[in-house]
């Protein structure tokens, strides 16, 4: 790490901590992280979901921080949470400290030359369970000192904040600081049970996505294809959708590789939905770690070689 960069980062950290120490002697840095999360998320409940804790815990941590600093940080209104001017100021400083601490942690991990330690991967549930989990055996057998944490979530893990080391995403990240490699293309098709397939298309009912995926192109294609026909159920989980489709609840748009392996589902003769590119994403600092590189290379090999996934060219 360049010495000038270290000096600049240390200067920023000193400025932030000096300002906060003018308020009080800080005993628990994690409470500042909670405040920064509340400001980023916009509410106590949203911050609780991001941090994976109960919203009452967030409330207690904010109250403890207010008592320690001796200032009001958050106004708790009936339907929303509003941070005070002091709260916004301290959250901004806490965010700067958080960024510097995360940078130090990433660079420290990135300097490891041995394939050892824990690497965390974030991926959509269907990819995490159906593809990645099933392909980790050879990697772990070849690297006995390596440990994997696999997060199956539709939420986009922040690689900058260290929520995960590697992310598998179905959209290219818009943060220029991240490194993204397109490794495959995921095809989709419409599937239904034999009973559903026997109906005429004008009588089909549908299983759609919920608001979490309302922005993706194949969701918009699906809504246009459905038209005025009823969407009787919504879920963004492919396992839930496929179970409902098997039970003849309706027609579901599913990843082709996944759905063709379900014997009780038939691929319907319809126009083809748009595909989605699959990306491997990593922060440049953490990419230097031998363990992270080993996992990245393995995932790229696995995803690019799977049948019914088109390898990126």
CA 251, CA 15: separation in Å to the nearest integer? 58
Helix axes 29-41, 44-51, angle to 10 degrees: 120
Find tokens 């699906």 and name the residue. Answer: 222
Residue 12 confidence (pLDDT): 44
Is residue 48 helix, strand or coil? Answer: helix
In contact, 179 and 281? CB cutoff 8 Å:
yes
Q: What is the pLDDT of residue 79?
A: 60
Q: How far is CA 123 from its chain centroid?
A: 7
Give per-10-residue mean pLDDT for the chain (313 aa). 45 47 54 81 78 79 83 71 79 74 59 76 90 92 94 83 88 86 92 97 94 77 95 93 97 93 95 92 86 92 73 52
Measured from the Cβ of residue 26, the count of other Cβ atoms closer than 10 Å reads: 15
Residue-level pLDDT at 32: 80
DSSP-assigned states of every residue in 135-192: G-HHHHHH-TTEEEEEEE-SS---TTTTS-SEEEESS----TTSEEEEEEEE-EEEEE
Instruction: Measure the CA–CA gap between 250 and 242, rounded to whole angstroms.
Output: 10
How many Å separate Cα 245 from the centre of its chain?
26
The reported pTM is 0.61
Beta-bridge mates of residue 52: none
Of 56, 84, 57, 80, give the one whose Cα is nearest residue 71.
84
Number of C-alpha atoms within 13 angstroms, CB side, residue 238? 23
Contact at 8 Å (CB) between 47 and 34? yes
Token pair listed for 62: 């904010």
Three-state secondary structure call for residue 17 = helix
- pLDDT of 85: 82
Q: Which residues have C-beta within 8 Å of that of residue 186, sequence separation ≥ 6?
A: 170, 255, 256, 257, 275, 276, 277, 278, 309
DSSP reduced 3-state for 66: helix
CA 174 to chain centre: 14
Question: Which structural domains are found in the chain, ordered by start?
Answer: 3-110 (1.10.10.10), 117-186+277-311 (3.40.190.10), 188-274 (3.40.190.10)
**pLDDT for res 113:** 54
């Amino acid at each position: 790490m360049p010495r000038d960069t270290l000096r600049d980062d240390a200067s920023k950290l000193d400025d932030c901590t000096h300002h906060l120490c003018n308020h009080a002697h800080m005993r628990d840095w994690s409470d500042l992280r909670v405040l920064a999360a509340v400001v980023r998320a916009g509410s106590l409940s949203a911050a609780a979901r991001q941090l994976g804790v109960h919203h009452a815990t967030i409330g207690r941590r904010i109250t403890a921080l207010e008592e320690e600093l001796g200032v009001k940080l958050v106004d708790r209104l009936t339907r929303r949470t509003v941070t005070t001017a002091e709260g916004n100021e301290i959250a901004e400083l806490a965010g700067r400290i958080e960024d510097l601490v995360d940078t130090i942690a990433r660079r420290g991990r990135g300097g490891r030359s041995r394939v050892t330690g824990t690497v965390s991967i974030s991926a959509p549930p269907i990819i995490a369970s159906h593809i990645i989990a099933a392909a980790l055996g050879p990697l772990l057998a070849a690297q006995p000192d390596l440990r994997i944490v696999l997060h199956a979530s539709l939420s986009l893990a922040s690689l900058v904040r260290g929520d995960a080391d590697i992310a598998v995403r179905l959209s290219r990240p818009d943060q220029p600081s991240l490194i993204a490699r397109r490794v495959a293309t995921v095809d989709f098709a419409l599937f239904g049970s034999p009973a559903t397939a026997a109906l005429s298309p004008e009588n089909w009912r549908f299983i759609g996505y919920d608001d979490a995926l309302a922005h993706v192109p194949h969701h918009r294609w699906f809504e246009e294809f459905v038209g005025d026909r009823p969407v009787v159920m919504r879920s963004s989980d492919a396992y839930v959708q496929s179970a409902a489709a098997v039970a003849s609840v309706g027609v579901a748009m599913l990843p082709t590789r996944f759905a063709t392996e379900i014997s009780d589902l038939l691929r319907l003769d319809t126009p083809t939905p748009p595909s989605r590119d699959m990306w491997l994403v990593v922060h440049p600092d953490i990419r230097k770690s031998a363990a992270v590189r080993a996992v990245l290379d393995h995932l790229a090999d696995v995803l690019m070689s799977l049948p019914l996934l088109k390898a990126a060219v």
